[in-house]
């Protein structure tokens, strides 16, 4: 099986061509033609954050949202912040505890909005599909409406991949989503986490907050023979944000403990 020499894509997940004797996937070919200037993205982010005096932080209690909250509070010194968790019904208890503990540690108000996403999760598991896109889309819409109701113009998120070549996007209603970790390496994120009372939960999959991701990945693996996280993690490698070795580990089929399966099945009525 051909594997891209620049990222971790293979023939299961991307078209691969031989260029100058090297296998290179189509996504990496586009990147080579239009590379992202990391320093330019970071400069743009710094300039944008100078204008932010009030913001909601999309706060799942996972490692990336924790780093985003820290940066907003301690590095960019945003005067008015609110950490808002959208609890979709299958958040890990450890993530909720991390969220409370670190918000208190940083002195940022913390609010939980509780919703039932069981329709998204049940459908994904029954069809062996990824729930992530639908979950993320619904969550961002909940946060956008919350921001508008409460006078916030900015929503800060913990995504490390920018929107194309820019670290922000304009949402409807004039709300701006800022991906505060844009082009930040995994090592940089972990250096920040070491300063905080963050405790890593033992969850399968590339997550530190979600109980449904591991089961969804396992079912997808059994049906398709690879991870639905493959292309996103390949992008992290392509941009130099994650090592190839770490990516290969993250893309292995997860072993989901029975206790986690039981919680997920019970809450989704799949028992």
Are residues 109 and 230 part of one domain? no
Are residues 2 and 65 part of one domain? no
pLDDT score, position 208:
84
Inter-residue contact 121 to 213 (CB < 8 Å): no
pLDDT score, position 11:
95
Are residues 87 and 58 part of one domain? yes
Question: 184-190: which pairs have CB atoms within 8 A and are 24 or more residues apart?
Answer: 184/67, 184/160, 184/241, 185/240, 185/241, 185/242, 186/236, 186/241, 186/242, 186/243, 186/246, 189/63, 189/64, 189/67, 189/160
Beta bridge partner(s), residue 84: 58, 111
pLDDT score, position 66:
97
Interval 184-201: pLDDT, tens: 999 999 999 999 999 998
Interval 105-132: pLDDT, tens: 999 999 999 999 999 999 999 999 999 9
Inter-residue contact 190 to 167 (CB < 8 Å): no
Query: Exposed, middle or buried by CB within 10 Å (0-12, 13-18, 19+), for 187?
Result: exposed
pLDDT score, position 84:
99
Q: Which of 135, 114, 115 is nearest to 124 (CA)?
A: 135
Are residues 127 and 88 part of one domain? yes
Are residues 253 and 143 part of one domain? no
Are residues 239 and 178 part of one domain? no
Are residues 42 and 30 part of one domain? no
Contacts of 52 (CB under 8 A, 6+ apart): 76, 78, 154, 156, 178
CB atoms within 10 A of CB 182: 24
SS3 content of the chain, % helix, strand, coil (to 5): 45, 15, 40
Q: Across the chain, what does the average pLDDT equal?
A: 96
Beta bridge partner(s), residue 83: 57, 110
Residue stretches of the chain with pLDDT short of 50: none
CB atoms within 10 A of CB 177: 21
Are residues 139 and 21 part of one domain? no
Question: What gap in Å lies between CA 4 and CA 164, rounded to an integer?
Answer: 21
Are residues 246 and 123 part of one domain? no
Sort strands 80-87 and 54-58 into parallel, antiparallel or unpaired: parallel
Within 158-253, strands assigned E span 168-170, 176-179
Question: Residue holding tokens 């909601």?
Answer: 56
Domain boundary among 173, 193, 213: 193
Question: What gap in Å lies between CA 176 and CA 174, rounded to an integer?
Answer: 6
Domain boundary among 146, 172, 193: 193
Domain boundary among 193, 224, 245: 193
Domain that holds residue 216: 202-268
Are residues 50 and 10 part of one domain? no
Are residues 240 and 156 part of one domain? no
Q: What are phi and psi of 13, to 5 degrees?
A: -120, -10
Are residues 85 and 178 part of one domain? yes
Q: How many domains are contained in the chain?
A: 3
Q: Give the predicted TM-score (pTM) of the model.
A: 0.94
pLDDT score, position 16:
98
């Amino acid at each position: 099986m051909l594997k891209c020499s620049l990222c971790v894509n293979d023939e299961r997940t991307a078209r691969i061509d031989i260029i100058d004797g090297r296998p290179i996937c189509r996504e990496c070919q586009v990147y080579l033609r239009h590379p992202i200037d990391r320093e330019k993205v970071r400069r743009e982010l710094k300039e944008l954050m100078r204008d932010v005096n009030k913001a909601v932080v999309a706060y799942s209690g996972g490692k990336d949202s924790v780093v985003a909250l820290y940066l907003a509070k301690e590095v960019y010194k945003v005067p008015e912040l609110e950490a808002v968790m959208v609890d979709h019904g299958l958040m890990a208890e450890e993530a909720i505890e991390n969220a409370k503990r670190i918000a208190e540690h940083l002195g940022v108000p913390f609010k939980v909005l509780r919703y039932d996403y069981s329709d998204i999760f049940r459908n994904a598991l029954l069809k062996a599909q990824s729930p992530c896109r639908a979950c993320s889309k619904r969550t961002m819409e909940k946060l956008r409406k919350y921001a508008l109701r409460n006078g916030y113009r900015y929503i800060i998120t913990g995504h490390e991949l920018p929107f194309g070549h820019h670290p922000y996007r304009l949402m409807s209603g004039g709300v701006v989503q800022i991906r505060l970790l844009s082009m930040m390496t995994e090592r940089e994120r972990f250096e920040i986490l070491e300063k905080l009372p963050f405790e890593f939960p033992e969850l399968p999959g590339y997550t530190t907050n979600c109980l449904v991701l591991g089961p969804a990945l396992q079912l997808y693996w059994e049906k398709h023979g690879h991870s639905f996280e493959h292309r996103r993690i390949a992008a992290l490698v392509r941009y130099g944000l994650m090592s190839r070795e770490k990516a290969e580990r993250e893309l292995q089929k997860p072993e989901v403990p029975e206790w986690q399966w039981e919680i997920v099945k019970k809450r989704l009525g799949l028992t």
